A = this chain, B = another copy of it.
Amino acid sequence: MATESTTSRLRVLLAEIVDLKNVVSLLEWDQQCCLPPSAGEGRAEQLGTLQRLVHERVTSDELGREIDRLAESTRGLDPDADEVRLAAVSRRVRDRLVRVPADLVAEIARVTGVAYGEWARARSESDFARFRPHLERIVDLKRRLADCFAPYDHVYDPLLAEFEPGMKTAEVRGIFDRLRGPQAALIRSVAARAPVDDGFLRRRFDEAAQWAFATEVVGELGYDWARGRQDKAVHPFTITLGADDVRITTRVAADFFPSCLFGSIHEAGHAMYEQGFDPAFARTPLADAASLALHESQSRMWENLVARSLPFWEHFYPRLRARFPGVLDDVPLLAFHRGINRVSPSLIRVEADETTYNLHIMLRLDLEIRMLEGTLAVKDLPAAWNEGMRQHLGMVPPDDAHGVLQDVHWAGGSIGYFPTYALGNLVAAQLWERIQVDLPGLDEDFRHGRFGGLLAWLRKSIHRHGAKFAPQELVRRVTGSPIDPAPYLRYLEGKLAAVHGS
Listed in ascending order, the chain A residues whose CB lies under 8 Å from chain B are 15-16, 19-20, 22-23, 26-27, 30, 34-39, 41-43, 45-46, 49-50, 53, 224-229, 241-245, 247, 282-283
Contacts and interface: CB of A to CB of B under 8 A. Distances in A.
Interface SS of A by simple majority = helix
Given A36-B225, A53-B53, A245 B43 contact: yes
Contacts of A15: 45, 49
Given A20-B49, A23-B23, A30-B30, A42 B226 contact: no
Nearest to A19: B49
Contacts of A42: 22, 241-245, 282
6 contacts: A23-B23, A23-B27, A26-B27, A30-B30, A36-B225, A36-B245
Contacts of A43: 242, 245
**Lowest 10 A-B CB distances belong to which pairs?**
A42-B242, A39-B245, A19-B49, A38-B226, A38-B244, A39-B244, A37-B226, A38-B227, A19-B46, A42-B244
Contact of A46 (B46, B53, B242, B247): B242
A37 B245 CA distance: 9
A297 to B, nearest CB: 25
A175 to B, nearest CB: 37
A49 B20 CA distance: 8
Given A15-B45, A45-B19, A49-B16, A39 B227 contact: yes
A79 to B, nearest CB: 30
A433 B30 CA distance: 42
Contacts of A247: 36
Contact of A36 (B22, B36, B229): B229
Given A23-B49, A36-B226, A45-B283, 19 more contacts: A16-B49, A19-B45, A19-B46, A19-B50, A20-B49, A22-B46, A23-B50, A26-B26, A26-B30, A34-B229, A35-B245, A36-B229, A36-B245, A37-B226, A38-B224, A39-B242, A39-B245, A42-B241, A42-B244
A46 B242 CA distance: 9
Contacts of A282: 42
A225 B243 CA distance: 33
Nearest to A224: B38
A290 to B, nearest CB: 22
A46 B282 CA distance: 12
Contacts of A16: 49
